[in-house]
Structure 1
Amino acid sequence: MKPAPSPMSDSAPATFRIGAVSLPAARLEGGLYVVATPIGNLGDVTLRALETLAGAALVACEDTRVTRRLLERYGIRTPLVAYHDHNAETMRPRLVEKLGQGAAVALVSDAGTPLVSDPGYKLVEAAIAAGHRVVPLPGASASLAALVAAGLPTDRFFFEGFLPPKPGARRNRIAELKAMPATLVLYETGPRLPESLADLADGLGPRPAAVCRELTKTFEEVRRAPLDALAAHYAAAGAPKGEIVLIVGPPDEEVASDADVDGALRRALATLSVKDAAAAVATATGRPKREVYARALALERADGD
Structure 2
Amino acid sequence: MSGRLYLVPTPIGNLEDITLRALKVLKEVDLILAEDTRTSKKLLSHYNIDTPMQSYHMFNEHKTLDGIILKIKAGAQLAIISDAGTPAISDPGFLLTRACIKEGFEVQCLPGATAFVPALVNSGLPSDRFVFEGFLPLKKGRQTRLKELAVEPRTVIIYESPHKLVKTLLQFQEYFGEDRLISISRELSKLYEETIRGSIAEVMDHFANIPPKGEFVIIVSGYKEKKK
| TM-score under structure 1 length normalisation | 0.71
What displacement does 1:253 show? 5.0
- Tell me, in whole angstroms, the C-alpha distance in 1 between the residues paired with 2:131 and 2:120: 11
| 2:83 alignment counterpart | 110
Write out per-residue CA displacement over residues 187-238 of structure 1, whole angstroms, 9 at most, x where no aligned residue. 0010110010111022112111111000001111101111121123223333
Letter in 2 for 1:51: K
1:35 is aligned to: 8
Q: Does 1:244 align with 2:216?
A: yes
Are 2:124 and 1:151 equivalent residues in the alignment? yes
* Structure 1 match to 2:107: 134
Aligned residue identity for 1:212: S
Higher helix share: 1
Q: Give the SS at the match of 1:242.
A: coil
Cross-structure match for 2:30: 57
Q: Judge conservation of contact 1:198–1:228 (CA < 8 Å) in 2.
A: no
Q: Which has the larger radius of gyration?
A: 1
Query: Residues 1-305 of structure 1 correspond to what in structure 2 (within 5 A)?
Result: 30-166=3-139, 169-205=141-177, 206-238=179-211, 240-252=212-224, 254=226
AA in 1 matched with 2:175: G
CA displacement at 1:165 relative to structure 2: 2.5
Contact map agreement 1:162 1:188 (CA 8 A) in 2:
yes
Q: Secondary structure at the match of 1:192?
A: helix
The change in CA–CA distance for 1:228 and 1:170 in structure 2 (over 3 A counts) is farther
Q: Mind listing any 5+ residue stretches in structure 1 that lack a counterpart? A: 1-28, 257-305
- Say which SS state the counterpart of residue 150 (structure 1) adopts: coil
Aligned residues: 226
Q: Find runs of 4+ consecutive structure 1 residues off by over 6 angstroms.
A: none
Moved more, 115-124 or 41-50: 115-124
TM-score computed with the length of structure 2 as normaliser: 0.94
Given that 2:82 and 2:91 are in contact with CA atoms closer than 8 Å, whether structure 1 keeps it comes out as yes
Q: Indicate conservation of the 8 Å contact 2:82/2:92, yes or no.
A: no
Q: What SS does structure 2 have at the residue aligned with 1:216? A: coil
